[in-house]
Amino acid sequence: MREEKYEIIGMHCAACSASVEKVTRRLPGVERSDVNLTTNLMDIVYDETQTTPEMICAKVEKAGFGIELHAEHPEQQSSEAKKNSNDDYQAQKRRLIGAAIFSLLLLYVSMGQMLPTPLPLPDLFSMDTHGVNFAVLQLILTIPVLFFGSSYLKSGFSALIHGNPNMDSLVTIGSSCSFVYSLVMTFLISDNMHHVHHLYYESAAIVLTLIMLGKFFEARSVQKTKGAITKLMELKPDTAILAENGREVPTSTLKVGDVILVKPGEKIAADGEVVQGRGSVNEAMLTGESLPVEKEPGSTVIGGSISQDGLLQVRVSRTGDDTTLAKIIHFVEDAQGKKAPIAKIADRVAGVFVPVVIFIAALAAILWLLLGQDFAFALRIFTSVLVIACPCALGLATPTAIMVGTGLGASNGILIRSGEALEITHKVNAVVLDKTGTVTQGRPAVAAVVPAGISEQELLMYAASVESGSAHPLAGAVTAYASENGLAVQGAENLTEFPGRGLQATIAGSVILAGNRRLMDEHSIDLSALDSQTADLCAKGQTLLYFARDGHLIGLIGVSDPIKPSSREAIETLKKEGIRTVLLTGDTKAAAASIARQAGVDEVIAEVLPADKAAVIQQLQKDGKTVMMVGDGINDAPALAQADVGCAIGSGSDIAIESADLILMRSDLKDVPRAIQLSRLTIRDIKQNLFWAFCYNTVCIPVAAGILFPAFGILLTPMIAGAAMSLSSLCVVGNALRLRTKKL
């Protein structure tokens, strides 16, 4: 079996993606075909002895869509392709601006004359004295809008021709009928001035402009999604230094077994094993943990991580697609390419709604002709049905609620990447939380000071004095704590650094040793006096720094990453709503368990590698959970993309933010339950809007078809139909705007 990804061009709704899936699944030997509307990608698995790529492309093109083989990684795309993508985006933006300008002018001319106090307009274009000029001016203003939105009109007609009607088809029929009827009325005004009241050019233009606005926002979201992959690729350094000859070579030429030299401050070019040297390596961009990891001969290192101190020689163990970074990129791409779980309600009914409306309109017109009415009467019925069924209310039901909902979220510090994320968040019943920077503050702080034979103040003075000469995050935590307690730092002399272990310095004539247990063992420092305290602090997951003066232990300092003040309250709120909370971290089990107790989470999963985080999310989904992942590190990117809803903390990495569906700008976990509440309010509003839109069509279409004319003489003219259509849209928009008054 062969698996390939194709980019599908010209899809605009769920009906489009369903159509592509339907035609490709009918091909012989096709095992699976899934189309993702958001990324415009089709993932297809097929037997290449029965089906060829040419057959797949032919089927998709016959259905009315374009198709291209998808490049697996961003670096495979040429700079020209990237430039063309940006040019298309800018062209779409220019078309939207042009359509909006002409639509606003058209509204001023057409609707401005309907107000109790008409808006000023030269007498040459007065609807009362120069009706033809009034109509022609609207025609002139409408034509550019139709031109700017021609791609959607073509899509709508193409979908109809190929038997796959979509939301573009609804817009196309509504806009075209409004335009054609208005055009006919324009030619008849010279014979009967009353026809000046039967112009619906603004209906044709405004519907199209609103659709263009929605598609523009969608295109911008897709561009940002692609940016996440690009930033991941930038973590990989371009060159590496070979240890045997000091020669700088491209990273892409490295082979398994090569030994590379990594200097302090440099990125490690590939996954490997340290063969010589000691030092600290910052893996935060990949593991999410803020504390550097000490490396020595035999330790493994991850490509893309940064050496902080010490000169390391690393034997390359994995290159290319086998590296941890490459796998993270693959996980993000794979998760982002999966089919969205939410299908738009309006798109699902479009395939039935469009042909039914056309059938009713045509049937009504034919019946009235058979009953003896003239062609003008039948045309009036046909147009009234189509105008009153124009999908303004149906098309606005979801996007207006989503736009207001996302605006309410933004005003509360909750940025929402897409309408789909807002729609699915209300279903979340499991929230997976990264530890560092999400539940905790993301920076080390002194948690315990345990002196041995001296005062606490004296221990802090020695500790801060010696650690002031180091740029290590743990040293920064100690000096910051001493400063907060008003302790003065003394000058340190003869400072010696032991990479991966600690420091030594002379302070006030005494030799002070500061570092981990390994450094103390190397200098034969007896630590037994603090064994009980050591065991207690280790059980709490704290990192311990030991201090000795002139060969004797004088105390230890425990450093940990404290939880944010709001974390426990946020987790309690989630649990009250019946949502399960899971702490997922690459940190040790002891540290994770300590944080879990403080925060009150339901379950702890610790010591998890970056690639495995997405697998944990996937298992929860298999268990029937709708999962929200909350994280802030690059290591969280695959899990954020895999989750039904990815939620990034605003203080997190760019990669995490770009991979997420929701972004909490205030870095406050209490915004997680607020986001879920916002989704519930928005979904309720969408359902109300859709009910009104469908109810409106159910009631008004038969009336427009003339069902009340024989008994009561009631007949909707296209003008009344247009007014009713506008009223339905106003009701939908007004209902959506009520969201703005809600408090989260």
What confidence tens digit (pLDDT) does each residue in 400-445 have? 677 777 777 777 778 777 667 788 899 999 999 988 788 888 788 9
- Provide φ and ψ at 340, rounded to 5°: -65, 140
The 3 state secondary structure assigned to 443-499 is CCEEEEEEECCCCHHHHHHHHHHHHCCCCCHHHHHHHHHHHHCCCCCCCCEEEEEEC
Q: Of the ranges 61-65, 233-237, 519-523, which one carries the lowest mean pLDDT score?
A: 233-237
Q: Classify 69 in phi/psi space as left (phi over 0), alpha (psi -120 to 50) or beta.
A: beta
* CB-based contacts of 1, cutoff 8 Å, min separation 6: 31, 45, 46, 47, 48
Cα 646 from Cα 681, distance rounded (Å): 19
- What does R_g of the chain's alpha carbons equal in angstroms? 33
Q: What is the distance between the alpha carbons of residues 225 and 228, in angstroms, rounded to a whole number?
A: 6
- How far apart CA 586 and CA 589 sit, in angstroms, is 9
Token pair of 684 as six digits? 């309720």
Tell which CATH classification among 3.20.20.80, 3.30.70.100, 3.40.190.10, 3.40.50.2300 matches the domain 2-70: 3.30.70.100
For the domain covering 239-322, report its CATH number.
Answer: 2.70.150.10
Residues 312-321, mean pLDDT to the nearest whole number:
90
Distance CA 107, CA 407 (A): 25
Are 314 and 295 spatial neighbours (Cβ–Cβ below 8 Å)? no
Strand partners, 314: 260, 274
Q: What is the mean predicted confidence (pLDDT) over 725-729? A: 64
- Residue 536 bears catalytic tag: no
> In the predicted model, what is the mean pLDDT of the chain?
81
> What does the pLDDT average to over 209-232?
60
- Identify the active-site residue in 43, 271, 434, 587: 434
Q: What angle do CA 126, 131, 135 make, to 5 degrees?
A: 95
- Residue 6 pairs in a beta bridge with 42, 69
DSSP state of 709: H
Pairwise CA distance, residues 271 & 268, whole Å: 8
- Which residues, 6+ apart, have CB-to-CB distance to 322 below 8 Å? 271
Which H helix or E strand runs over 418? none
Pairing of strands 41-46, 293-295: unpaired
Instruction: Count Cβ atoms below 10 Å from residue 8 Cβ, excluding itself.
Output: 23
In this prediction, residue 80 carries a pLDDT of 46
- The residue ranges of every structural domain in the chain are 2-70, 77-234, 239-322, 414-440+563-674, 445-560
How far CA 616 is from CA of 42, 587, 642, in Å, comes to: 25, 15, 10
What mean pLDDT is predicted for residues 517-523?
Answer: 92
Q: What confidence tier does 79 reach under pLDDT thresholds 50, 70, 90?
A: very low
Q: Which two tokens stand for residue 550?
A: 């002139």
Q: Give the up-direction half-sphere exposure of residue 556: CA atoms within 13 A in the CB hemisphere.
A: 25
pLDDT surpasses 80 at 281: yes
Q: What is the pLDDT of residue 13?
A: 60
Provide φ and ψ at 536, rounded to 5°: -65, -45
Cβ atoms 324, 669 nearer than 8 A = no
Q: Cα–Cα distance between 547 and 176 in angstroms, integer?
A: 82
Q: Are 559 and 446 in contact (CB under 8 A)?
A: yes
136 has pLDDT over 60: yes
* Amino acid at site 509: G
In terms of pLDDT, which residue wins out, 471 or 184?
Answer: 184
CATH second-level architecture of 445-560? 3-Layer(aba) Sandwich (3.40)
pLDDT of residue 530: 92
Instruction: Say what the pTM is.
Output: 0.59
pLDDT at 384: 75
Distance, CA of 539 to CA of 722 (rounded, Å)? 72
Residue 148 vs residue 660, higher pLDDT: 148
- Give 351-396 pLDDT, tens digit per residue: 566 678 778 888 998 999 999 987 767 877 877 787 676 555 665 6
CB neighbourhood size of 582 (10 A) = 20
- The Cα–Cα gap between 398 and 614 comes to 31
Tell how strand 645-649 and strand 662-664 pair up: parallel
- Considering only residues 540 and 450, tell me which one the structure prediction assigns the higher pLDDT: 450
Of the two residues 715 and 478, the one the predictor is more confident about is 478
**Residue by residue, what is the 3-state secondary structure of 358-417?**
HHHHHHHHHHHHHCCCCHHHHHHHHHHHHHHCCCHHHHHHHHHHHHHHHHHHHHCCEEEC
Is the pLDDT at 329 greater than 70, yes or no?
no
Length of the chain, in residues: 744
Confidence band of 147 (pLDDT split at 50, 70, 90):
very high
Residue 668 has pLDDT above 60, yes or no: yes
The CATH label, of 3.40.50.1000, 3.30.70.270, 3.40.50.150, 3.40.50.300, for the domain at 414-440+563-674 is 3.40.50.1000
pLDDT at 255: 92
Q: 14-30: string of b/e by CB count within 10 Å (b at 16+)?
A: bbbbbbbbebbeebeeb
DSSP state of 587: S
Residues 6+ apart with CB under 8 A from 404: 682, 685, 736, 737, 739, 740
Q: In the prediction, which pLDDT does 363 show?
A: 92
Strand partners, 279: 295
pLDDT band at 460 (very low <50, low <70, confident <90, very high): very high
Which tokens belong to 676? Answer: 């879920």
* Torsion angle defined by CA atoms of residues 316, 322, 328 and 332, in that order, rounded to the nearest 10 degrees: 150
Q: What is the pLDDT of residue 435?
A: 85
The angle at the Cα of 260, spanning 258 to 261, to the nearest 5 degrees, equals: 160
